[in-house]
Structure formats: structure tokens, C-alpha cells
Amino acid sequence: MERFDGISVFVEVADAGGFSAAAARLNLSRSAVGKTVSRLERRLGVRLFHRTTRTQSLTEEGQLFYESCQKALGEIRTAEDLLESGRREIRGRLRISMPVLFGRQCVAPLLRDLLRSHPRLEFDLSFNDRVIDLLDEGFDLAIRNSPLGNGSGLMMRTVAEQRMTVCASPAYLEAHGMPRTVAELAAHEGIVYARGGEPLSWSFPSDGKAAEIVLPQTRLRLDDLAAIADAAAAGHGLAWLPCWLVRERVQKGELVRVLTDRPGLIFKAHAVWPRTQHMLPKLRVVIDKLAAGLPRIME
């Protein structure tokens, strides 16, 4: 059993990005964590971390050892969770990645509510708009709004649908007029979502026909949906945004939806997780919660 001493602490340091952060997670002193890792290095005969006065980073050998240990500990946790599957109590930790704005406003409130029902359930939540690699980065679950691609080794379940809408401030519409058709949008000033220099065109589905695509003229391109909503409310132009994001502003009269007779494009939100033979009870209860709760939040 001595061969396993210090491995869980080592993995925690690598996950946390440093001895101090790992010590806080483990409820240990920084000195105790450092000594545990040093003993492990002496036993293995390799240096696992590059150390400076402020930071610690994995060496090449440390990275290889970390990847193997992470997988092994994951297998152990899976075995423990399966033993719990016949019991009523949901317990254990899940690492979950989600888009920043959608995660903060829609997903996180449901997960916080779930913690009240399951006192021994734990979440490590990561808010990031990039598409993470669940297997390489050690996540148990990701919520994605983007196309899934052909990710092998992954499972997926649609948990919500996000309908898009065009909106603008009352002041903008009074000054520039209300667009009545999709074609008229091109003549208006638009506030456009763009990432990597590429603006996202606005798409409007049509029954039995190809979708109508338009990109309004624009002087304002942003990579944050909340900032686009702010700019639209301030009168800078039309914006194409998820209905859930603008609902309160519309109710308050800060924004007005336009082209309401046209169905909005729908983006599906997916829960994605690594493929396993048996779904863990803690993972199932989270996915079921999101599938039941997100559609109500986003109406």
C-alpha cells in the first residue's frame, strides 16, 4: 500500500495548480502537502514539479505520471460510486464545465438547488466558453451550446433548446423604424457577436425552404452576449440574442422584440460526458435535473 501514498495529494496539487490551493481543498497545511509530494518524488526518483517561490508546474515526467494517476483514481471513484448505486444517498464530486453566461444564469442555479437535496454531493464548476476536452482535462460533464462534432468516447443528451430573437431599444426603433421583414434587417445598424474576427450571421428558419441568412451593417462587434444586450438597450442597434437572456429586459420595456411573426433559430443545449458502461448515480441525477429544469428557466 505504500506505493499509493501521496498519489491523491499529488493529483490534487496538479488539478489545483499549486500547493497552497491544494492545501485549502484538502484542509491541510501547505507544508504538509509539500512534504507529501517530496516524499513521493524521493520514492519515485523523479522530480514531479518545477518549483519557484510563487508557482508550481508539472515536469515532463510529472505530466506523464499525473495522467496515469488521474485515470487510476477515476477508476477507483467509479468503483466506489457503483457501490453506492444501490443506496438512496447521492454522494461524491463532479467536475462540470459550462459556457460562462449560460452557465451562470441558467445552469448554476439548478445545480445549487440540487446541493440542497443531496448534502453529500459536491461540484467543481468551471465557466469557460471554449470547447474543453473532457477526457484530457478530467471533466465528468460538460454543457455545450455549440455543435458536438464527432467526439468519440462521449455520450450526449439534449437538455434544452435556446430560441433566438431580434430586439432593439424603443429609442432605436423610434429613430430608425421597425423592420417588418428579414430582408429589411440588412439596412439597420446591428450589434453582432464575433469571435476570432468572424461575425456570426443571423439565421431565420422557414418551413420547407432554406433559412434566410442576414448580417446587418455593423460598427460594433463583441464576443459577449451580455455586453451585446447592454449595447442594444443603450440604443446602438438591433441585436440577435437568446430569448432567455432578454426576457427581463423586454418585460421592463428596455428592449422590444421585432419580427415576432418569424420563428427564431433554435440552438440545442447538450449535456456531454465520457462514455462508460454504467452511468454513475450522481451524474444521472444532475443530467435529469438539467433536462427537467432548463426548459422552464428558458421559456
Q: Is the pLDDT of residue 177 over 90?
A: yes
Average pLDDT over residues 187-202: 88
Please give the Cα distance from 48 to 180 (Å, whole number). 64
Residue 42: HSE in the Cβ half-sphere, 13 Å Cα cutoff? 8
What confidence category does residue 244 fall into, taking pLDDT thresholds of 50, 70 and 90? very high
Rg (CA), the chain: 24
Report the alpha-carbon distance of residue 245 to residue 232 in Å, rounded.
Answer: 12
Residues in a beta bridge with 203:
213
Q: What's the angle, vertex CA 242, arms to CA 236 and CA 244, rounded to 5?
A: 110
State residue 4's pLDDT score.
66
Residues 33, 19 contacting (CB under 8 angstroms): yes
The architecture of the domain spanning 92-161+267-298 is 3-Layer(aba) Sandwich (3.40)
Q: For 168, which DSSP code?
A: E
| pLDDT tens readout for residues 60-93 | 888 888 888 887 877 777 666 666 555 567 888 9
User: Would you kindly state where each structural domain of the chain is located, as residue ranges?
Assistant: 7-84, 92-161+267-298, 162-266
Q: pLDDT class for 1, splitting at 50, 70, 90?
A: very low
* Annotation: CATH topology of 7-84: Arc Repressor Mutant, subunit A (1.10.10)
Intrachain domains 7-84 and 92-161+267-298 with the same fold: no
Q: Cα–Cα distance between 235 and 4 in angstroms, integer?
A: 61
Question: Taking the CB of residue 210, how many other CB atoms lie within 10 A of it?
Answer: 7
Domain range 162-266, its CATH number among 3.30.465.10, 3.40.190.10, 3.20.20.450, 3.40.50.12780: 3.40.190.10
Q: What is the mean pLDDT of residues 43-66?
A: 86
d(CA 188, CA 223): 20
pLDDT recorded at residue 271 = 93
| Span 107-159, pLDDT tens digits | 999 999 999 989 989 999 999 888 888 877 888 999 998 666 555 678 889 99
Asked whether 183 and 214 are in contact (CB, 8 A), the reply is: yes
**Segment 261-294, tens digit of pLDDT:** 888 888 889 999 988 767 788 999 999 999 989 8
DSSP state of 200: P
